[in-house]
Amino acid sequence: MAKRIVESFLDDIDGSDAEGTTRFSLDGTNYEIDLSGSNREKLERALAPFITKARAVRADRGARGRRAGAVSSRAVSREKSTEIRRWAKAQGLPVSERGRIASTVVEQYEAAH
């Protein structure tokens, strides 16, 4: 018996098919979001006035270190993510079905356990 498993990415904004993952940073925090071509263009247009006036900076991990009070960006296992999502839903907290879990939700989970 043959089996075909298809993994597809959905646009995190509108749920349409995403063309890829877009990464960006702001104030030392790195973000990534799955976007369709049109939503990526919207993001690029929105940022264009700022990017044209900004200076590109090479990432230098060693010199900066961590920001004070920054939450650890350690990866959460799939099993723990499922457990956190289940707990958050039971607490009435907003949590997505997939993707990264908000650090505030993870912090609340860890404080409760």
pLDDT tens-digit profile of 11-46? 999 999 998 899 988 888 899 999 999 999 999 999
> pLDDT value at position 61?
58
User: Considering the domain boundaries, does residue 38 fall inside one?
Assistant: yes
Mean pLDDT of all residues belonging to the chain = 83
If you write DSSP's letter for every residue of the chain in order, what string do you get?
Answer: ---------B-TTT-SB--EEEEEEETTEEEEEEE-HHHHHHHHHHHHHHHTTS------HHHH-PPTTPPP-PPPPHHHHHHHHHHHHHTT----SSSPPPHHHHHHHHHH-
Q: 31 lies in which domain range?
A: 7-56
User: Considering the domain boundaries, does residue 62 fall inside one?
Assistant: no
- Global confidence as pTM: 0.47
**For the chain, what is the domain count?**
2
User: Considering the domain boundaries, does residue 72 fall inside one?
Assistant: no
Looking at the structure, tell me whether residues 13 and 48 fall in a common domain: yes
The CATH number covering residue 26 comes to 3.30.60.230
Looking at the structure, tell me whether residues 52 and 82 fall in a common domain: no
The CATH number covering residue 86 comes to 4.10.320.10
Span 68-96, pLDDT tens digits: 444 444 556 788 888 898 999 999 988 88
Looking at the structure, tell me whether residues 51 and 85 fall in a common domain: no
User: Considering the domain boundaries, does residue 82 fall inside one?
Assistant: yes
